[in-house]
Amino acid sequence: MNTFFEEDGILNIDDLVMAQPSFQKMIEDGVITEKELHEQSNRVISSLKAFEATATEEQIDQVRELLAEISVLVAARQIFEKQMK
């Protein structure tokens, strides 16, 4: 996958998530456990620390902003879906 977007310009997060071995492992039994969430949290923390150790201050700021905006999108989508019920 060479881009974050589909041909029509839509963000390609679903394919990105589905391609991740960590996600595939978590969903293979149809249940996500607290342990799996903890392990995923540790993977994210480890990846961010590795990135932070080699990135410039500007890159760190860009990733921080990106993570914040993705988190806003996830939270807003959850609220939206609850409103639709």
Helical pair 57-83 and 34-54, crossing angle rounded to 10 deg: 150
pLDDT tens figures, 36-65: 999 999 999 999 999 999 999 999 999 999
Same domain, 9 and 30: yes
5-29 pLDDT, tens digit per residue, is: 888 888 888 888 999 999 999 999 9
- Note down the domain range covering 68: 56-85
Q: Has this prediction a pTM greater than 0.85? A: no
Same domain, 22 and 60: no
Q: Quick one: the chain helix, strand, coil %, rounded to 5?
A: 75, 0, 25
Q: Which is higher by pLDDT, 58 or 73?
A: 58
Q: What is the pLDDT of residue 60?
A: 97
Note whether 23 and 17 are within 8 A (CB). yes
How does residue 2 score in pLDDT terms, banded at 50, 70 and 90?
A: low
Domains identified in the chain, total number: 2
